[in-house]
Amino acid sequence: MKRKRIFTILVLVLLTCALSTTAFAIDESEVESAIAASSQEEVAGNIFIWFLCAIGFLKVSQKIDSFMASWESMLAGQEEACWQNSW
């Protein structure tokens, strides 16, 4: 029992150390210098990729919304039928 508890604590400590990351603060000047060091095409490409990710996220959220709406209407119909059958 004691070995199991020590093992569990050890695993939790190791996972905490492995999964914790140090956040490094960067300044706006460092970002500007990184952009200046890279080419304009590379920056434009990154913006294009982020734009495509945003469109993909919106499309997926629209699909989930329509799916949930169809489930809502289906469940509302079943609930209405249950109330009619019970009386």
Tens-place pLDDT, residues 12-51:
888 877 776 655 567 778 777 877 777 767 767 778 888 8
**CB within 8 Å of 35: residues ≥ 6 apart:** 43
Contacts of 43 (CB under 8 A, 6+ apart): 35
Confidence label for 2 from pLDDT (cuts 50, 70 and 90): confident
Supply the pLDDT for residue 57: 94
Predicted confidence at residue 49, as pLDDT, reads: 86
Q: Which residue has the tokens 């460092």?
A: 30
